[in-house]
Amino acid sequence: MFQLIAADLDGTLLTPDHRLGSYTASTLKQLNQKGCQLILASGRHASEVSDLRNTLGLPAFMITANGARTYTPTNEPLLHKDLPADVVEAIISALIDKPGITVHLYQDSGWYFNQYDEALLSYHKDTALPRFFCNRDALPTTFVTKLFFSCHDTHRLAAYGEELQSRFSDKVAIAFSLPWSMEVTAAGVSKGNAMQRIARHLNISPKQCIAFGDGLNDADMLTTAGKGLIMQNADKRLKQRLPALEIIGSDAEEAVATYLEKTFSLNDPGISAAMR
């Protein structure tokens, strides 16, 4: 039986309005009582994932900023890796004047960006994450956890990603959390690598983990786990990349909770009817 449960947040564990459903929360609490360890795995800032963990009220490992910041349930840092400042400067200079591009970055202090992108902001509307609007010359370049770019011309953004990968391949990791959001972290940073670090911390194999995701930034986590599950609402490119993995229901149906309830034979009478 799996000892570790890893779940992406937006599009996976959270409902489409980016909230934790009561059925999901109740299911996770039952699993915690059975001794299962939980990993909240997200591209989000550490402070947002921490707020969600507090709302849930359960001990959980946190993979944040796609693995650039990874923590134990008691907030002991397991991974802490920033982008080199010269690489941040070079990438911002290369893309900031491209058509349709908005530049974003995370430091531990908050989220910095050079333009408002309402679609991306909607994912974070209910959080207390500090946000800082900066002109191009004021964007910080040191102690950057994650650099990311939004562009609603997805084909153009994918081409920019190929350019960056070719130019900085040994210095960065590039992933897409959404088709229109490209995320850049230091080389070696990924949810899969972070999950392996957590498994070593627990002295278990990553194959004792079950993982759920919906974006390309979840791909290596899903293949590193003993069992990876893809959401019905996932990015079609993830489904194409990992055709052998099982596809479950959608985030709107709280499909992660349904799958876990069945897999772990949870039998709290009436939980499904009462909590969905």
pLDDT digits (tens, 9 = 90+) for 4-23: 999 999 999 999 999 999 99
> pLDDT, tens digit, for every residue of 112-168?
999 988 888 888 887 889 999 999 899 999 999 999 999 999 999 999 999 999 999
Distance from C-alpha of 36 to C-alpha of 206, rounded to nearest angstrom: 14
Do 7 and 44 touch, CB atoms closer than 8 A?
Answer: no
Q: Using the 3D structure, point to which of 171, 186, 201 is the last residue of a domain.
A: 186
Residues 195, 181 share a domain: no
pTM score above 0.85: yes
**β-pair partners for 176:** 182
Residues 169, 99 share a domain: yes
Count of domains in the chain?
Answer: 2
Q: Using the 3D structure, point to which of 128, 162, 186 is the last residue of a domain.
A: 186
In the block, tokens 């959080």 appear at 127
The whole-angstrom distance between residue 241's C-alpha and the CA centroid of its chain comes to: 18
Range of the domain at 12: 4-80+189-275
Q: 8 catalytic, yes or no?
A: yes
- The residue from 8, 10, 82, 214 that is catalytic is 8
Distance from C-alpha of 94 to C-alpha of 160, rounded to nearest angstrom: 9
In the block, tokens 């650039």 appear at 68
Q: Using the 3D structure, point to which of 153, 186, 219 is the last residue of a domain.
A: 186
What CATH number should be reported for the domain holding residue 177? 3.30.1240.10
Q: Given the DSSP bridges, would you call strands 227-230 and 209-213 parallel, antiparallel or unpaired?
A: parallel
**β-pair partners for 227:** 210
Distance from C-alpha of 25 to C-alpha of 235, rounded to nearest angstrom: 25
Residues 92, 175 share a domain: yes
Q: Can you say whether residue 57 is alpha, beta or left, with left for phi > 0 and alpha for psi between -120 and 50 degrees?
A: left
